Amino acid sequence: MCGITSFLSLGQTPAPREREQLEGEINESLEIVKHRGPDASGKWISADNRVGLGHVRLSIVDLSASGNQPFHDASNDVYAVVNGELYDHERYRAELSAEYDFRGNSDCEIVLALYKHYGLDFLSHLRGEFALVLWDAKREFFLATRDRYGIKSLYYTVSGGRLLVATEMKQFLAYGWQAEWDVRSIVERGLIFDDRTVLDGVKKILPGQYLVSRNYGEIQTRKYWDMHYPEKFTKEVRTEEEMIEGVRQRLLDAVRVRLRADVPVGIYLSGGIDSSAIAGMVVHLVKEGAKLGDSSSQDLSRIQCFTVQFDKDSGVDESDVAQRTAEFLGVKFNPVHVTEEVLAERFEKAIWYSEAFMADVNGAGKLAMAEVAHNAGFKVVITGEGSDEHFAGYSYFQDEFLLEEDPSWTPDDYDKAKYEEAVSKAGTAKFAGYKFSGTPTLPSTTRTLNNTRIAGILKGAIPLSIAPWALEKYGASDAQTVFADSLDGEVRHAIAKRWHPLHGAEYIWTKTAFQMSLLRYLGDNIDMAYQVESRPAFLDHNLTEYANNLPPSLKIKCNYDSGTFTEKYILREAVKPFVTEEIYKRKKQPYVAPMRYAVDGPMHRKLKELVSQENVEALGFVDWEETQGLVEKAIVGGDNFAFRAAVAIAQYVVLSKRFGVKRATPEGAR
């Protein structure tokens, strides 16, 4: 719902800086992300000029000036800036009001009260999607952190003797920082597999982690939360019906708390079960009398859903299914027609706002939908992201599920012969536009990751023809090994020995592509470009912790009579009362934009403009000899891999130009 910026001067003898200069830097940093918070702006700088906090606000809860930030306590000892939405704040406000003097009714103000009551353990009490920076002046304690799944972004770097922390990387430009490529990270896919980005020295605070500096000293990162799964050999004692009801009630509660706002709340609706279930539960709760945003009306026609509508002949349009769901629920259906021209026009904006890569143009479609929701007067939408990660919705999870049987759960109708026959007939997941090449994975890494393929799939997620010098310098490291080495020992051991391969794969995917690509390129950064806060109910940690402890064979269930497998089985059963029969039975169709476009059409022209010899050679780390001809091969030849490769390079070109990144060279690379 907001944008934040901050600095901390490191060391005992910091370089002197004029207050006027510091104020100008914070103002400029906030101006860069003013799209995230047009309703108010504020800053605070310590008397000694060593610490500064800035905030732009999108007013959603407590629209008065008392919700403006930075926040501070009554004694002016603790300061904070918060981006996001914190649920259960009413309960904490009631519990802590006797010891903390709240100045308003903002959900985010509970950060100070919780910190003063619980100390650093306050992080475990935060429920929602958030990123924040806190400064305790008495203790000289600086803290920056983000939510458990990385719904909100938060980056940091050290420049000119200062620690800089901000919502978006582009904000660092305001402090005199100059962008350079981190070629090693690009080659090793560090932006997916660890805490690096594509820019040298810029890191992301990982989901479920916090950064601290005490007494202006060493910067340290620590984990405050992580995903855990049961021992694979531990027998499940709950009944199937009990677990279905457990999912249903936790999802209903996650949706219920996300209805709360002092502004209108809408829904992003696709043709899949996830967003359809969210829409169905919203309708159910409103019928029961729940307030939806700023309205108490039970008129269902006022509930508005927004759907991306691609051309009908594209092969990827789901709007007809979504419309039938909207009609079933009795809510207003708003299709957002996303043509090739719309995608081409918003392609560069999607990269600039998201600062992420997915080697496709889906983000441009999502950007168009956010614009329509904004123009319709909505500041909040509830979304379905995060379901596939926790209920095994992606097709490639089936491959991981079948690596081992599930000893934790044996259904009453278990038939070993039929199960083995189904396994033998099961297909291997196919990935349009992916090629798997490069350094072979080390056998030790394969064992560490328990033979799961998910990390290998991700190696091909951003296809690039790396320049020979960069391959020679950095190409010896396998991306999967880089990821395995980034894990702590407990998690490595759990994936290798304790967790079922499906759960290991869910962990790997959620910690990599999901938080870096999906939640950036299709999530908060895109929606906030048009001042729309997206609330993914499936990422409520009360729900996800329950889902993580469900048996793998209730996420993907073998149908012994048909010899087939049903993905997200337990979720389907949990949400069945809230969706149509069509949705209940429909197989997963991921949100994807078209990959085939007309010759000399808007997308062809956009890619030719960006993927030129001049632009590619200006990157320095991409081989033009291997790159030339990709655009023609993609558009004229209809080659999906060539299309993804051309889009990936175009995305780097956009960031290169917008950030002013100088050309990478063998001499300059570290």
The dihedral formed by the CA atoms of 102, 106, 112 and 117, expressed in degrees to the nearest 10: 70
Measured CA to CA in angstroms, residue 480 lies from 61, 89, 436, 440, 446 at distances of 42, 40, 12, 9, 9
Helices (H) and strands (E) in the chain, counts: 30, 19
Length of the chain counted residue by residue: 670
**Is there a catalytic annotation at residue 2?**
yes
Measure CA 587 to chain center.
23
Measured CA to CA in angstroms, residue 241 lies from 238, 248, 254, 418, 570 at distances of 8, 11, 20, 24, 9
Residues 213, 10 contacting (CB under 8 angstroms): yes
- Annotated active-site residue in 2, 108, 305, 558: 2
> Starting from the edge strand earliest in sequence, which strands make up the sheet with 332-337, in order?
332-337, 304-309, 265-268, 380-383, 533-536
* Number of Cβ atoms within 10 Å of the Cβ of 233: 9
The dihedral formed by the CA atoms of 375, 531, 128 and 51, expressed in degrees to the nearest 10: -170
Find all residues with CB under 8 Å of 385, minimum gap 6, and list them: 274, 518, 519, 522, 523, 534, 536, 538, 539
* Number of Cβ atoms within 10 Å of the Cβ of 413: 10
Residues 61, 262 contacting (CB under 8 angstroms): yes
Find residue 308's DSSP bridge partners. 336
Long-range contacts of 174-179 (CB under 8 A, 24+ apart): 174/5, 174/25, 174/26, 174/28, 174/29, 174/31, 174/32, 175/7, 175/25, 175/29, 176/25, 178/660, 178/662, 179/659, 179/660, 179/661, 179/662
Find all residues with CB under 8 Å of 339, minimum gap 6, and list them: 311
User: Which residues form the catalytic set?
Assistant: 2
